[in-house]
Each structure stands twice: as C-alpha cells, then as structure tokens.
Amino acid sequence: MDWKIRPSRPEDAMALAEIYLSVRQQTFTWVDPGKFHREDFAAHTNGEVVSVCEAPDGKIAGFLSIWEADDFIHMLYILPEFQGKGAGSALLRSLPGWPLHAYRLKCLVNNRLAKAFYLAHGFHVIGRGTSSEGDYEELSFPSATAR
C-alpha cells in the first residue's frame, strides 16, 4: 500500500483521539476500559512530535508520537483494519535518522502482537518494568553503527 506520512495537524485531533481510544480498548483487554478516555490523547502526547499515516484514500490509518529529547517512541497506534499492511513500518521508516539513529520504547508484555512487530523490526529487549496498565519491556533499536 502507498502510505503517506505527514506531521499531525490541529484538524486531526479528534480522529487521532478516537484511534487512540478505540485501539487501546480493543487491544488492552486486561485493563478496565473505563480507564480510557478521548481526552487522554491530548494529555499523553503533550510536547511530543506526532506523525500521521494516511491510506491512499486519505483515511488516517494510525499515528506515531515521539519524545524527541530522549529518542523515545511513546506511541504507535494503527487501526485494526490497517494492521499488518505496512502502516506501522512506514511510520517507523519516517523517524528522523531511521535506521541509523537509536530509538527506544516501552511495550506492554501482554501486547504480544506489538512486541512481535518491534522485534521483527530489529528492536531488542533491554529492560523491564511495571506500569498502571501492566508489566512492560523496554526495547531499543540500536543505531546501525552500534550493530
């Protein structure tokens, strides 16, 4: 599929908040769904750089947010109908300096599909921890010069 990656715009806010809410509700089945709200998107991406992935028909397929100061991928969410079709890969490839730049992220242990996605893209586990949504693993994508 021919994905278009672009910076988020103010008019994307409602669609991105809906993606964030619906994908978390569908994916994080072990968390009380009452803990998820549309307003979370704005609060959780405050100060982050958000990129949007559009399908060829212009529909927003998903998004990625990074905290640039720490090269930290905070979120990568794709609507179920677009999962497994390259949208997430396109978002990763759009990261500044990819794949020569080191990035890291946290992935919930129970989110097995996401972990498999990141491992398939060259990330490896460097640590573990616990959050309000469950245990997580910290993953790192080493720069090409570090491999």
Report how far apart the first and last C-alpha atoms of the chain are (Å, whole number).
30
CB 88 within 8 A of CB 105: no
Cα separation, 40 vs 22, whole angstroms: 12
Low-confidence ranges of the chain (pLDDT < 70): 143-147
Residue type, 45: T
Q: What is the CA radius of gyration of the chain?
A: 15
Q: Give one word for 6, left, alpha or beta, with left for phi > 0 and alpha for psi -120 to 50.
A: beta
Instruction: Give the pLDDT confidence of 77-112 residue by residue, as tens digits.
Output: 999 999 999 999 999 999 998 888 899 999 999 999
Quote the pLDDT of residue 86. 97
List the alpha helices (DSSP H) in 28-111. Answer: 40-44, 87-93
Cα separation, 47 vs 108, whole angstroms: 22
